[in-house]
Amino acid sequence: MTALRLTEPDLDFIKELQKTGGESLKKCFQCATCSVVCQLSPDNNPFPRKEMIWAQWGQKERLVSDHHVWLCHQCNDCSTNCPRGARPGDVLAAVRAQSIRHYSIPGFMTKIVQDPKLILVALAIPVLYVLAMLGVDGHLSTLIHPPKAEVEYGSYFLSHLTLNIMFTSAFVIFLLGGLVGLTRFINDMKKTDPIPGDKDPGFIKAVIAAFFELLAHRKFKKCTAGSNRYFSHFGLFYGFALLFIVTSIVVLLILVAPDTYPINSLSNPLKLAGNLGAILLIGGGLIAIYDRLTTPDLAGQSSYFDWFFLLVILTVGITGLLTEIARFTNASSWAYWMYFFHIVFVFCLLCYLPYSKFGHLLYRFFAIVHSKRVGGYPE
């Protein structure tokens, strides 16, 4: 005889889901059309039908640790085929946002990038931090009275040493907090859906397979309703990857061979790679924004959580290019202000990484790893 289990709905969790994009969840009447049409749903344990009923019942603990939620790429094949307009793709997007909030350490960091009322707080933190960096270097006055000499950010604005030490320190501190939350998520996945010893390919093999899965963006190609998501995610992913690699190399050069920086030739391989990364980043962001504005039924209902990430990453790309143009054209009247805004939004992107929608990169990766280990990820 099956044991009875008392279920206590979390009403606050239901309200949070409805506020962050899942307002349609109560329309679901469990017809399972969503699970049938989804090309990413595993046959042995399909989603999102079960996730929809858990959301309706306020089963927070089941949902935030459910790795299937992260296998969804929100292509919205399920939403466009739903006979009731329950939009499962949007509901699962809201669940992912709540999952990041649930596991993040400290929790208020996720709240400030999910609550539009706290946008001034989200921006004030990096603004004050960059101003403090300028104060350490004694260059606060540069914003008000830019030097008439040739534009040189390292000499008249932020020294490479201050930028590397203070910015890297902040990034590492925020990243460590995010990794603690990610570790909690991984442990809960294992409790919710234990890894079978006889079928487990092993952690290393699963990580390698998941890595190449992300590089190829192959799952996005299976989407039919939101096919443009492949191009937007491709641009965002590879644009950020190129810029991150180039920035890391530049930081290393500054430490070991400072005479090689700044790089004054646009034909330098690092400049070419950096500019290509910026173009990919901006292009991917513009495609994502265009889709959300023109075809919300296909792109998904956008929450503040989505818009915060998209606008930050787009601003990083645009201000980065303008900062470069200002230096090469020696436009000192606005160059330092542009560089200031660029550093502020790079802070928003990197230091809020584990807490914003950018955290999807980490959570989805390890959810895919787990799915490969339990045999629930269709090839």
pTM: 0.88
Amino acid at 106: P
Backbone φ and ψ of 272, nearest 5°: -60, -45
User: Of 273 and 227, which is predicted with more confidence?
Assistant: 273
Q: According to the model, what pLDDT value does residue 197 have?
A: 76
| Distance (Å, whole) CA 106 – CA 113 | 13
Q: According to the model, what pLDDT value does residue 162 have?
A: 87
Average pLDDT, the chain: 88
The Cβ of residue 73 has, within 10 Å, a number of other Cβ atoms equal to 23
User: Is the separation of the CB atoms in 379 and 331 below 8 Å?
Assistant: no
Q: According to the model, what pLDDT value does residue 3 have?
A: 62
Q: pLDDT per residue over 69-122, tens digit each?
A: 999 988 888 998 999 999 999 999 999 999 999 999 888 888 898 889 999 999
In the chain the domains, ranked by start, together with CATH numbers, are 11-103 (1.10.1060.10), 107-374 (no CATH)
| Distance (Å, whole) CA 15 – CA 10 | 9
Angle, vertex CA 351, rays to CA 349 and CA 355, nearest 5: 85
Q: According to the model, what pLDDT value does residue 152 have?
A: 87
Query: Mean pLDDT over residues 184-190, rounded?
Result: 94
Q: CB under 8 Å to 145, separation ≥6 — which residues?
A: none
Q: According to the model, what pLDDT value does residue 167 have?
A: 87
Q: According to the model, what pLDDT value does residue 108 have?
A: 84
Q: pLDDT per residue over 144-183, tens digit each?
A: 899 888 888 888 888 888 888 888 899 999 989 889 999 9
- In a 3-state reduction of DSSP, which class is residue 65? coil
Q: Quick check: 237 pLDDT over 90? A: yes
Q: CB burial class (10 A; 0-12, 13-18, 19+) of residue 293?
A: exposed
What percentage of the chain reaches a pLDDT higher than 70? 94
Q: According to the model, what pLDDT value does residue 379 have?
A: 61
User: Is the separation of the CB atoms in 77 and 224 below 8 Å?
Assistant: yes
User: Of 230 and 186, which is predicted with more confidence?
Assistant: 186
User: Is the separation of the CB atoms in 199 and 261 below 8 Å?
Assistant: no
Q: CB under 8 Å to 70, separation ≥6 — which residues?
A: 96, 360, 363, 364, 367, 368
Q: According to the model, what pLDDT value does residue 257 have?
A: 75
Q: According to the model, what pLDDT value does residue 230 have?
A: 86
Q: Quick check: 261 pLDDT over 70? A: no
Q: Quick check: 228 pLDDT over 90? A: no
Q: According to the model, what pLDDT value does residue 4 have?
A: 66
Shortest CA distance to 378 belongs to which of 33, 40, 34?
A: 40
Q: CB under 8 Å to 367, separation ≥6 — which residues?
A: 67, 69, 70, 71, 189
Q: According to the model, what pLDDT value does residue 96 have?
A: 94
| Distance (Å, whole) CA 311 – CA 196 | 42
